[in-house]
Chains A and B, each alone.
Chain A
Amino acid sequence: MTTMMSAATTCTQPLLEAKHLQLSYGQQVAFHDVSLPIASGEIMAIVGPSGCGKSSFLSCLNRMSDLVPHCHVQGEIHFNGTNILSPRTDTLLLRRRIGMIFQKPNPFPLSVWENLALPLREHGLVKSQTSRRAFRQAIHQAIEAVLRDVGLWEEVKNRLHSSALALSGGQQQRLCIARALILQPEVLLLDEPCSALDPLASAVVEELMLRLRPRYTQVVITHNLAQAKRIADRIAVFWVQQHKGQLIEVGSTQQIFNAPTHELTAAYVSGGKG
């Protein structure tokens, strides 16, 4: 299955492509010269030891890096053919099309319902109906659909109006994924989405990610190699060399695990390093 997918995706034009990307915080270079094409519909896993610039790289892809003071990005990132690093890019529009899930689930301190209705209303995604009642009904349908999508509907349908903070960690993370999906993005960026979850909850999230493929293109950072092996179509290995993060190898999951070309990759996947 995995190999078929990657074979199918590699021949198409990449949806998202970083070209000679470099990011620095003040004088400190986080990573440099990263070129990575990401194909439409694939799950790209980014692995590597701590501090090699994985999260920094991910935050460039939807310009969340703009929010970090003294953060400077060089190079190009092409999304659907346009360079999103150009100052003319509308970041609000960009972040609607490229959603993000964080390491620690971060639902707003609102009800489950309001967590989903807030972005819906903000972006006017529900067409205004003839009556208030019909409008509410439309919002309800969108919320139910997305909660079913992440497999949360049965668990929360009776407490839509109680606080989202009362949900378990795994449920909160799936709510955050639902919140991102409700904007109908093309790409999901997931920054270690399972690292704050117990094994059962992370298995549920993993299964969800597989279910969302290939409707959404997913870029996921993980510290868990076994997880990368289970879910990813392709894997990008980052490493620190001369105090700078670098992309040392990209390949299909099978190739990275069975026939790595870089010696560091070989040591990493066999458990010798990292």
Chain B
Amino acid sequence: MQTFEMSQLSSLRRAHRRDRILRHSLRLLGSITGLLVLLITLFVLQEAWPALQNLGFIRFWTDGSWHPLEGSFGLMPMVLGSGLIALGATAIATPLGLLSALFCQCYGPPLLVVPYRRLLELLAGIPSVVYGFWGLVVLVPQINRLHPPGQSLLAGTLILSLMILPTVALLAIASLAQIPSSYWQGAAALSLSRWTTLTRIILPSARSGLFTAVVLATGRALGETMAVLMVCGNVVQVPSSVFDPVRSLTANIALEMAYATGDHRAVLFVSGLVLLAIVAGLVVMAEGISNQGMSSESVIVHER
């Protein structure tokens, strides 16, 4: 009897020890990851500091143009360029992505849905330089025929929308998959039409997850560099039409970092900081939306 208890006790102690080891190693790995993000931000801030001190934050928005060698550091056209490309891409990718997700989760026959999902996953895995290359040799000449020069806001928007489409679709599929099947069963038993089921029950319940999908995809669009750099033409200007070339913040950093010195270099870090801030803001927003969805048990109370 006593030996039995002894062996139980030692196995319990062993289990506790394993738990402790696992807990500590997970904590370590978690803090390394968090620390990395913090260090990168601090580094960017440190490198941007001289510019912020010498020129002041306001000048980046008030300077009329971007001529860093002549001391003119207007970031506005590029912030606008990044914003327009990302918003345009989101505007195109959101409906397509949501419809793809609805097709996968609610309408498509399994025989078609499985390869379709694989295709979306493949689309997510294609390197951005390949998208850029394809855009340059296929898309840009087509747009050029429509309205020269071809390398333009439109080209960037289209390429980017293709690139973030799988992000929207796969995240939306994941959030639709979380809807309890009892909602579907309940709706079927009440012979609600598929349209009513989707618009009144399923989509409102998945609302927060779908918003998160769109916001994260926008973040990805803002950060994208290579493909945008290859198809947008990179002229620093406020575009007057979708056929005008634009330069994004990311492309600007990639293009000029190699030879920038002094204030010029520091200003590039400032633009990096701006990008970081925008993307961080989007992630916080996405987090906020999904938490809100959880806390209220995704309850939708309609007006009479």
Q: In the complex, what distance in Å separates the CA atom of A67 from the CA atom of B205?
A: 21
Q: Mark A32-72 against chain B: 1 for CB-CB distance below 8 A, else 0.
A: 00000000000000000000000000000010100101000
Query: Is A203 interfacial (CB-CB < 8 Å)?
Result: no
- What's the minimum C-beta distance from A192 to chain B, rounded to whole angstroms? 14
* B298 and A100 form a contact (CB under 8 A): no
Option from B188, B201, B301 in Cβ contact (under 8 Å) with A162? B301
* B299 and A106 form a contact (CB under 8 A): no
- What's the minimum C-beta distance from B277 to chain A, rounded to whole angstroms? 35
- What's the minimum C-beta distance from A106 to chain B, rounded to whole angstroms? 4
* A108 and B201 form a contact (CB under 8 A): yes
Query: Is A111 interfacial (CB-CB < 8 Å)?
Result: yes
* B186 and A163 form a contact (CB under 8 A): no
Q: In the complex, what distance in Å separates the CA atom of A262 from the CA atom of B84?
A: 77
Q: In the complex, what distance in Å separates the CA atom of A92 from the CA atom of B193?
A: 8
Q: Mark A67-110 against chain B: 1 for CB-CB distance below 8 A, else 0.
A: 10100000000000000000000011111100110101011111
Q: Mark A139-171 against chain B: 1 for CB-CB distance below 8 A, else 0.
A: 000000000000000000000011101100000
Query: Is B297 interfacial (CB-CB < 8 Å)?
Result: yes
Which of chain B's residues 170-210 have a Cβ closer than 8 Å to chain A?
A: 180, 182-193, 196, 200-201, 204-205
* A96 and B191 form a contact (CB under 8 A): yes
Q: In the complex, what distance in Å separates the CA atom of A99 from the CA atom of B185?
A: 12
Secondary structure of the A contact surface, majority rule: helix
Q: Which of B190, B297, B299 has the most CB of A within 10 A?
A: B190
Q: In the complex, what distance in Å separates the CA atom of A93 from the CA atom of B191?
A: 7
* B302 and A95 form a contact (CB under 8 A): no
* A64 and B298 form a contact (CB under 8 A): no
Q: A64-B185, A118-B200 are in contact. Are A109 and B298 (CB under 8 A)?
A: yes
Q: A95-B191, A118-B196, A161-B301 are in contact. Are A176 and B201 (CB under 8 A)?
A: no
Q: A109-B205, A165-B299 are in contact. Are A136 and B304 (CB under 8 A)?
A: yes
Q: Mark A172-200 against chain B: 1 for CB-CB distance below 8 A, else 0.
A: 00001001100100000000000000000
Q: How many residues in B have their beta carbons less than 8 Å from beta carbons of A?
A: 26
* B190 and A183 form a contact (CB under 8 A): yes
Contacts of A162 in B (CB 8 A): 301
- What's the minimum C-beta distance from B255 to chain A, rounded to whole angstroms? 50
* A106 and B191 form a contact (CB under 8 A): no
Minimum CB distance partner of A62 in chain B: B189
Contacts of B110 in A (CB 8 A): 69
* B190 and A165 form a contact (CB under 8 A): no
Contacts of B205 in A (CB 8 A): 109
* A165 and B183 form a contact (CB under 8 A): no
Query: Is A113 interfacial (CB-CB < 8 Å)?
Result: yes
Contacts of B299 in A (CB 8 A): 109-110, 163, 165-166
Query: Is A127 interfacial (CB-CB < 8 Å)?
Result: no
Option from A111, A176, A183 in Cβ contact (under 8 Å) with B186? A176
Contacts of A96 in B (CB 8 A): 191
- What's the minimum C-beta distance from A116 to chain B, rounded to whole angstroms? 10
Q: In the complex, what distance in Å separates the CA atom of A113 from the CA atom of B300?
A: 12
* A163 and B297 form a contact (CB under 8 A): yes
- What's the minimum C-beta distance from B200 to chain A, rounded to whole angstroms? 6
Which of chain A's residues 236-268 have a Cβ closer than 8 Å to chain B?
A: none
Contacts of A206 in B (CB 8 A): none
Contacts of B302 in A (CB 8 A): 110-111, 114
* A110 and B196 form a contact (CB under 8 A): no
Q: List 17 A-B contacts (CB under 8 A).
A: A91-B191, A95-B188, A95-B191, A100-B189, A102-B185, A102-B186, A108-B187, A109-B183, A109-B299, A110-B201, A117-B304, A122-B191, A122-B193, A123-B191, A161-B301, A166-B299, A180-B189
Interface residues of B (CB under 8 A from A): 110, 180, 182-193, 196, 200-201, 204-205, 297-302, 304
Q: What are the 9 tightest A-B residue pairs by CB atom distance, in nearest-first order?
A: A106-B182, A100-B189, A95-B191, A163-B299, A92-B191, A106-B186, A111-B301, A119-B190, A114-B302
